[in-house]
C-alpha cells in the first residue's frame, strides 16, 4: 500500500474496508482514542479481520503514524453515527485512532509528541480534501449516546491554534440558571435549537431528555472540558452561542 500522506511512518494493509457509498468523499475528519490497555493490542484489533473494525490512520504515543486503510476506501470506525444531517459517517470521513487507554482503562493526557503528529496528519488531510473546520470532530460528537472518545483531555484548543478544527475560548462554568434532565419549556427548546444548528443530532421537542443530555456531554467534552456533567449551565450555553456566531461563512 502506498501511503496517502507524506507524514505517514509505516503502512499496514488492514483487511476491513469497503467502497464509500454513493460516491461520497471525505468531508469529515473523525478522531478517536483506541480505548484499550495497550497500543499494540489496539493496532492488532484495527489491522486484523476478526473485530470488523478499522481506521485509516493510527497514531502511537511516540508520534509514529501508521496508515491502515487507503483514504479512497471506507474504513469501519464510526458505527451508527450522524452529523449535520448526514448518517453513514464512515462513507464521508477519514478516521484517525489515537492511542490512549481511554476512560475504561486509565484515561490520561495525550503526550506532546503524539499530539504534534495528530496535528501534522490532520493539517495534511484537511488540506488535501478541503475538509471544513467544523467537520473536524470527535467520535462522541457523531455518536453521543454510545461514545465518549477522544474525551475531555484531548487538546482541541491546541489543534485550533494550529489551524485544525473549529473552537472558541469557552465561557467559565458558572452557577446560576441551568437546564438539566427533565426540564421542559421554551428555554430547553431554544437550547436544543442551538445544538441542532451546530450539527448535533438533536430533536427540538422542548424536553431535556436523555438525548439532550448525551449531546450536552459530547458538547462539553469537545468545547467546554473544564466541567463535563451533562448539565447545560450558562457557561456551556454561552460557549455554544460563541461557536455558532464564529462559524466560518463557507463550509
| Beta carbon nearer to Zn ion, 139 or 166 | 139
Residue 57, Cα to own-chain centre: how many angstroms? 14
Quick check: 98 and 113 in contact, CB under 8 A?
Answer: no
Q: Is 16 exposed, middle or buried (0-12, 13-18, 19+ CB in 10 A)?
A: buried
If binding is defined by CB under 5 A, does position 141 make contact with Zn ion? no
Among positions 4-43, residues that touch Zn ion (CB under 5 A) are: 32
| Contact region with Zn ion (CB under 5 A), list: 53-61, 139-147, 153-161, 217-225 | 139-147
| Residue 50 C-beta: closest distance to Zn ion, Å | 18
- The count of other CB atoms within 10 Å of the CB of residue 245 is 8
Quick check: 121 and 7 in contact, CB under 8 A?
Answer: yes
| Residue 122 neighbours by CB under 8 Å, 6+ apart | 29, 31, 96, 136, 159, 164, 165
| Beta carbon nearer to Zn ion, 60 or 233 | 60
| Contact region with Zn ion (CB under 5 A), list: 81-89, 141-149, 167-175, 177-185 | 141-149
| Beta carbon nearer to Zn ion, 20 or 32 | 32
Choice from 149, 152, 164, 201 touching Zn ion (CB under 5 A): 149
Catalytic status, residue 72: no
Choice from 74, 139, 221, 222 touching Zn ion (CB under 5 A): 139
- The count of other CB atoms within 10 Å of the CB of residue 163 is 12
| Residue 103 C-beta: closest distance to Zn ion, Å | 12
SS3 (DSSP) at 111: coil
If binding is defined by CB under 5 A, does position 221 make contact with Zn ion? no
| Residue 204 C-beta: closest distance to Zn ion, Å | 27
Residues recognised as catalytic: 97
Amino acid at each position: 500500500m502506498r501511503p496517502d500522506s507524506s507524514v505517514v511512518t509505516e503502512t499496514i494493509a488492514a483487511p476491513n474496508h469497503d467502497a464509500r457509498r454513493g460516491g461520497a468523499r471525505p468531508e469529515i475528519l473523525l478522531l478517536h482514542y483506541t480505548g484499550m490497555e495497550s497500543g499494540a493490542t489496539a493496532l492488532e484489533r484495527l489491522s486484523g479481520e476478526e473485530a470488523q473494525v478499522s481506521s485509516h490512520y493510527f497514531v502511537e504515543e511516540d508520534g509514529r503514524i501508521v496508515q491502515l486503510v487507503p483514504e479512497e476506501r471506507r474504513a469501519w470506525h464510526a458505527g451508527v453515527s450522524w452529523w449535520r444531517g448526514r448518517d453513514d459517517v464512515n462513507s464521508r470521513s477519514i478516521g484517525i485512532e489515537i492511542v490512549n487507554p481511554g476512560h475504561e482503562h486509565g484515561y490520561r493526557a495525550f503526550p506532546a509528541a503524539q499530539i504534534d503528529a495528530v496535528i501534522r496528519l490532520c493539517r495534511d488531510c484537511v488540506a488535501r480534501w478541503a475538509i471544513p473546520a467544523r467537520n473536524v470532530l470527535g467520535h462522541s460528537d457523531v455518536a453521543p449516546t454510545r461514545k465518549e472518545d477522544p474525551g475531555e483531555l484531548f487538546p482541541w484548543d491546541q489543534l485550533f491554534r494550529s489551524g485544525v478544527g473549529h473552537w472558541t475560548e469557552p465561557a467559565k462554568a458558572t452557577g446560576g440558571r441551568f437546564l438539566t434532565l427533565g426540564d421542559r419549556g421554551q428555554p430547553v427548546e431554544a437550547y436544543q435549537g442551538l445544538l441542532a444548528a451546530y450539527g448535533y443530532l438533536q430533536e427540538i421537542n422542548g424536553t431535556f431528555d436523555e438525548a439532550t443530555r448525551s449531546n450536552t456531554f459530547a458538547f462539553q467534552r469537545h468545547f467546554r472540558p473544564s466541567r463535563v456533567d451533562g448539565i447545560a449551565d450558562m457557561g456551556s450555553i454561552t460557549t455554544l452561542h460563541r461557536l455558532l456566531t464564529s462559524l466560518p461563512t463557507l463550509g
